[in-house]
Structure 1
């Protein structure tokens, strides 16, 4: 029995003892070294050859990942580690750092109890690092810190020992600042990372060594020795004396809570059901004998097993052939195989117990984010909120008619496996829209459709996703039904940013029916909404609110659902360019309805209400919002002029410029529409010497001098008449 097989046998045995399990992830900015770190941890634990570690990128088993040298999916693996005479099972998920794949990070966090935040010693805290720390804390995932690439700090930046220590202190302080502001008391103090208690480690994932205070005491290696070893390029000795997997896996076991401790704290945050119910109690206790409660965090499509759902089992035991329900789906599903994941391998087992990360085949209706349970009545887990929304769209169609049905199937499975991709299937025109987080995200999705599923497709150049809003309050505007017997009077107004933000982060639930109107009203009042308005909220659509501000209108309760439909239609296709409306409050202030219900059916009420909203928006001054990108660039001073020129040509606004040695750090914002082809342009302008990364920076109004032209382009592309209609058109 080889070492790998031996460890698989141990892993299967340990999966039955939740107090010996640790579910952890690695999370960081792109290229700070997460996957290399994950590989060396897996190799150290005997799950792959140590010569290949860091070069083989075991968790990057997708050929696109190996070709591009980045992680696209969140891959996972289980390994065994001995610490203080006991063996532990560590389930590790490696997450992407590229901003286009942020959705994968958000979902992976749901399965974890702890997270190794990897920060590059040279670059320090970067935008994506902040995002992952924020996501981890929101899901109550406990962070530990690994400062990577220490050798580069010493050999490339030539820092002194004192400067090295100073750099470490800065990074640790920055991380702790985030923890202090984003968690409630007492957690914000308890979860601080501290070198003295061993929750911070320093090292080089590529060269396979790491140190922290407990390991220094054990091995007798101090910071001055680390400095000398790196300076003399003798990192092999360091890796022998203080191997990375020993230090980091011991740090994880010591500081990350086991599933039993973690679930007591995490379940109330991620599940809003009744804590006294059978499933509630079982999840809080991580009880293997309770009902099955699993949250799917990822779907992978396996050529042999079909769709495999990977997720965290919070309660119960999943066995082969068991009947389970996917929340929100009518049919019961039967599990075909249950397995433990080790990188690209899945090891089949008879059953898996609460507290583990498990892979299940046979759940046809599950998508990433689904709740799976043996109790058909179980309330679903909180929706996983993504910090960014899709900003780029491509239109794709099959080259050959015969591939049409297959393409629709493939697009459905793409949307299941990656909910941060939005798919709009149009069977009439055969043209389907794919919206994602950025150019790279869509490029790779299309590559997978063509290469994995062998479908030839034509795709349009990328198109930017816009949003619509209004300048000032508009209305009351009267919308009449086609038969002229029903009238609705509507006002519209922009929502304050804090309310829109609360809807985006999920603090205000906008999905489905309003469950608790009182709680919703008090939350909106806390955010500054007027009391009567907060009580009148009857529906949401996207990040827009529909308020019924009328008093005692006859028959209104019979048509309010139809009004909601009219509201939703108006919000999905705005009056300016048929883009989605975002951040608008729609108030129904008066209505006159026909007494005979035959004259106020859907064909009368829906268009009347929609016209009232469109007309009110036209009187309030419609504006188009475009998505922005925040750009962080590190470049040598000698090419700074070219870099700035490249950004400013693209309507970029420079926010700050800092110097660190001979490196310039530039932070800027530019519209997504101007950023296509930026990668090759900046490489050309700086001879490939600029390092850059981007993150989505929300939507801002298109400059007024450009709006008419942009609206015209969008409308023409959609086959509409170039100018939008004015208010008089909607007054019927």
Structure 2
């Protein structure tokens, strides 16, 4: 049984960089990220093991629970013991739907490793490829967890040997992505393998899982899995979870393969920070130095009705404390940190201070936005801006049903765009309409639902999609006639030459 660990247990070891891991969970939609995260929370004593797999504890929004999908993502700090050594593991659960891929992009800046979750039947899907490419571009190291192994038995009716051949194809496909998108110097080192203990198998719903080392230690194999799911005894599946807990399989890979922050920053900082690496700030960033100047990048903003903006992000250098005076580098504004917190499940715990290499949540910075660089040095270089894989392409007009609610609508739009920078709100100068643009129809549907949850009655137009087309090659000529049929027009198209475009 996991023993609940308090915030004090975490603070006791949070200054030892070797015992810190920062990782995220990424995947295609509905492949089981949040269900898997439940088992990790249970192993840390944050939720009861009896509800892990069904609680979806990190989907805290009402909309997330109703739709059974992650929209916002969540941060949580876990306490984990492995081979007698204690670890603090900062985890970010991310959305899987492509409309919320901007949240994945921002989360990747704060972490050093990812667990890529893949459905055993569907395998590597389009969004799996997108988020893996994003991770590799940020120099974030992946490991692979293949979920829903029970589907191979129940739906595809595969025997143990066929299951292994099927799963090897998924691993091979995933390594092809690393071969394509990883930088040359890391691609071979970062490829995943069963023998290398960077691949795990399991069922998040049933809370069991194993990797190579666990299989050697416990003797579990695919024959045991096959027998459990073809047995009429319901206790057989529970026995798998007792024998080989999912949390040990996943967090074991995280501890072994994901680097601690002071190791990861040596190769990540040159990619994400454009300043002089030989300066005092640069050396502090590379070393992840607790005693250096504070330099933090905000990756997430949540607006708390009581506390105001909560700025969460990665602290790369220095130690941040309650009452610290800081500078918002991009906003060119001073600020003061009222309270330093960490996330334990869905609640914030006040910790008063936190050293470099961790993911704090700061209160009191009213002008902070996602992507902001926070520093105690006024002239510090900002981190590289976050590059999103797509832009808002779907637009609707939104207005209050009752004109008297216009101020409430303006405030509501301001709040949701602060929390979600991928939502763009602007005024059409010709019509006076308030336009809201998002990544897709679902993105806008969620945004309007959030406005309605604030008690606003709103009216929206049908979504308008902006298609962007260009000429790729020569075509034509084609003939067209004028309305009176007396004139013929011949037209040919071809791309402009590169030197013309450069002008």
TM-score, normalization: structure 2? 0.91
Shift of 1:183: 1.8
What is the number of residues matched between the two proteins?
480
Alignment match, 2:478:
none
The CA distance in 1 between the partners of 2:471 and 2:188, in whole Å, is 43
The CA distance in 1 between the partners of 2:112 and 2:180, in whole Å, is 20
Alignment match, 1:456:
457
The CA distance in 2 between the partners of 1:388 and 1:441, in whole Å, is 13
Alignment match, 1:183:
182
The CA distance in 2 between the partners of 1:312 and 1:339, in whole Å, is 13
Cα deviation code 1:461-515 (max 9, x no counterpart): 1111244767999xxxxxxxxxxxxxxxxxxx9678xxxxxxxxxxxxxxxxxxx
3-state DSSP of counterpart to 1:186: helix
Alignment match, 2:287:
285
Going from structure 1 to structure 2, the CA distance change for 1:586 and 1:400 (only over 3 Å counts) comes to farther
The structure 1 residue matched to 2:356, chosen from 349, 354, 357, is: 354
Cα deviation code 1:655-685 (max 9, x no counterpart): xxxxxxxxxxxxxxxxxxxxxxxxxxxxxxx
Shift of 1:456: 2.3
Going from structure 1 to structure 2, the CA distance change for 1:237 and 1:440 (only over 3 Å counts) comes to same
Alignment match, 2:403:
401
**Do the aligned partners of 1:408 and 1:425 also contact (CA within 8 Å) in 2?**
no
Cα deviation code 1:398-434 (max 9, x no counterpart): 2333332332233223222111111114699652111
**Do the aligned partners of 1:207 and 1:235 also contact (CA within 8 Å) in 2?**
yes
3-state DSSP of counterpart to 2:382: coil
Alignment match, 2:115:
116
Matched ranges for 1:174-213 at <5 A = 174-213=173-212
The CA distance in 2 between the partners of 1:400 and 1:277, in whole Å, is 57
Alignment match, 1:413:
415
Alignment match, 2:60:
61
Alignment match, 2:343:
341
Query: Which structure 1 segments of 5+ residues have no match?
Result: 474-492, 497-528, 534-584, 588-732
Alignment match, 2:38:
39
Alignment match, 1:318:
320
**Do the aligned partners of 1:392 and 1:462 also contact (CA within 8 Å) in 2?**
yes
3-state DSSP of counterpart to 2:81: strand
Alignment match, 1:253:
255
The CA distance in 2 between the partners of 1:272 and 1:115, in whole Å, is 24
Alignment match, 1:48:
47
Shift of 1:586: 6.7
Matched ranges for 1:48-127 at <5 A = 48-127=47-126
The CA distance in 1 between the partners of 2:218 and 2:151, in whole Å, is 23
Query: Which structure 2 segments of 5+ residues have no match?
Result: 475-493
**Do the aligned partners of 1:403 and 1:455 also contact (CA within 8 Å) in 2?**
yes
**Do the aligned partners of 1:396 and 1:458 also contact (CA within 8 Å) in 2?**
yes
Alignment match, 1:11:
10
Shift of 1:3: 4.4
Going from structure 1 to structure 2, the CA distance change for 1:314 and 1:158 (only over 3 Å counts) comes to same
**Do the aligned partners of 1:260 and 1:285 also contact (CA within 8 Å) in 2?**
yes
**Do the aligned partners of 2:308 and 2:366 also contact (CA within 8 Å) in 1?**
no
The CA distance in 1 between the partners of 2:303 and 2:17, in whole Å, is 29
The CA distance in 2 between the partners of 1:231 and 1:343, in whole Å, is 35
Q: Does 1:235 align with 2:237?
A: yes
The CA distance in 2 between the partners of 1:14 and 1:254, in whole Å, is 18
Matched ranges for 1:629-644 at <5 A = none
Alignment match, 1:365:
367
3-state DSSP of counterpart to 1:254: helix
**Do the aligned partners of 1:78 and 1:341 also contact (CA within 8 Å) in 2?**
yes
Alignment match, 1:225:
224
Cα deviation code 1:316-363 (max 9, x no counterpart): 111111111112223201111110012210001111111001101111
Cα deviation code 1:197-255 (max 9, x no counterpart): 21100110110000111001111212322222232252100000000111211111011
The CA distance in 2 between the partners of 1:184 and 1:164, in whole Å, is 32
The CA distance in 1 between the partners of 2:6 and 2:364, in whole Å, is 27
Cα deviation code 1:165-224 (max 9, x no counterpart): 111110111111111222223311100101002110011011000011100111121232
The CA distance in 2 between the partners of 1:378 and 1:435, in whole Å, is 33
Alignment match, 1:387:
389
Shift of 1:76: 1.1
Alignment match, 1:556:
none
**Do the aligned partners of 2:21 and 2:258 also contact (CA within 8 Å) in 1?**
yes
The CA distance in 2 between the partners of 1:472 and 1:94, in whole Å, is 43
The CA distance in 1 between the partners of 2:305 and 2:381, in whole Å, is 32
3-state DSSP of counterpart to 1:196: coil
TM-score, normalization: structure 1? 0.63
The CA distance in 2 between the partners of 1:258 and 1:409, in whole Å, is 41
Q: Does 1:299 align with 2:301?
A: yes
